[in-house]
Structure 1
Amino acid sequence: MVLVEKGTNHQFAEEGRAYDPLVPKGNNITITFMFEIDNEPIRKATLKKFGRIEYNFKLQICKKGSGELIVSLPCKPTEDGRTTNEGMTSAVHFFSVPFSKEQIQFLRDNLDNVQVKLTVDDERYPHSTVLSPLLVKELLKDFD
């Protein structure tokens, strides 16, 4: 973006610091969540309903077939302040999900027997989506 905007060297450093929390560090994955609503009045009204929703995201590893929960990992916001003092949340949220070495190895060893879900554990927006096995396989490449 700095190149497109014909920015200075100083701006490169600032952008690098701003985006560094989104770069996986070998023991985590990063997630971007977005409320995509084109209509501005509807978007603003919707975002006012979801203040602090960013603290209710989880990545869950479950047994295939039975859906039995094996582990639930909190999605940690990469920055505070995504909800205003007035209670309006941001349309875009960034998360980091840390994994222990044991959890990474378990996932690698059991990829064919588990499913990974991104879950919003909030009564205002109860939602869960299963990540495709191909996506999980690709995400495993981000780990050391």
Structure 2
Amino acid sequence: MSTGLAMKRQITREDILPMASYEAERRELRRDLVAKKKFRRQDVGPVCTFYFENYDTMWAQVHEMLYIERGGEEQIADELSAYNPLIPQGRELVATVMFEIDDAQRRKTFLSKLGGIEEMAFFEIDGERVVGKPEEDVDRTTADGKASSVQFIHFPFSESQIAKFKSPGTRVILGFSHPEYGHMTILPEEVRAALSKDFD
């Protein structure tokens, strides 16, 4: 994984461990990742969680997919293509957004009312809104208006917004402007500080 000395922005073939090495270190690596992710998640409302991605989280995800699916060398390129776009590039935050409802019928009904929510996530810093942009790999709302339970959202920041976000104690709000899920929350200082490191 990255050392933190210089934030890496892309996983390359050279970053992929031999599977035997990964298996030997997997338990320790996963324990380390839990600690790194502690302040990279934020609940918004009763059923939604934002998981903010970076090189370390995507490096771990690629290795887990290789470990689970056992696709070998042929699988590596596909995983890099799938997960590299979710690594923030220095002027953005990137989140996997999950709506988690255990009951299948209730989940279906709930998601049927959330069409377009991937276009309505935002940060608000000192009164300025940064509106999220969904990952362009696939449309996450169906033609009949049903949202996916998993969304991938990029938040592009200006230089001045980054400076404000990185300033200790800044009040940062994360939320949605969707009429059926208009929930918002103030980021805890530990989360704001952790996410600040995603910017150059």
- TM-score in terms of structure 1 length: 0.86
Please point out which of 113, 126, 133 is paired with 2:182.
Answer: 126
2:125·2:161 contact (CA, 8 Å) conserved in 1?
no
Question: What is aligned with 1:75?
Answer: 132
- How far residue 29 of structure 1 moved from its aligned partner, in angstroms, is 0.8
Q: Partner of 1:140 in structure 2?
A: 196
- Check whether the contact 2:165–2:172 (CA below 8 A) recurs between aligned residues: no
Give the structure with the higher percent strand: 1
Root mean square deviation, CA, Å: 1.4
Structure-2 separation of matches of 1:11 and 1:134: 36
Q: Give runs of ≥4 in structure 1 deviating > 3 Å.
A: none
> Which has more helix, going by share of residues?
2
Give 1:19's aligned residue.
83
Identity %: 39
Measured after TM superposition, the shift of residue 111 of structure 1 is 2.5
Given the two structures, how large is their TM-score scaled by the length of structure 2? 0.63
1:54 and 2:118 equivalent?
yes
CA contact (8 A) 2:91 2:199 kept: yes
> Are the aligned partners of 2:122 and 2:131 in contact in 1 as well (CA < 8 Å)?
yes
Which ranges of structure 2 fall in alignment gaps of 5 or more residues? 1-64
Q: Is 1:6 matched with 2:70?
A: yes
Higher RCO, Cα 8 Å, sep 6+: 1
Give the C-alpha shift of residue 16 in structure 1: 1.1
Query: What is the deviation of 1:133?
Result: 0.9
Mind listing any 5+ residue stretches in structure 1 that lack a counterpart? 63-68
Shift of 1:44: 1.1
Q: What amino acid maps onto 1:117 in structure 2?
A: I
Report how many aligned residue pairs link the two structures: 135
Question: Match for residue 28 of structure 2?
Answer: none
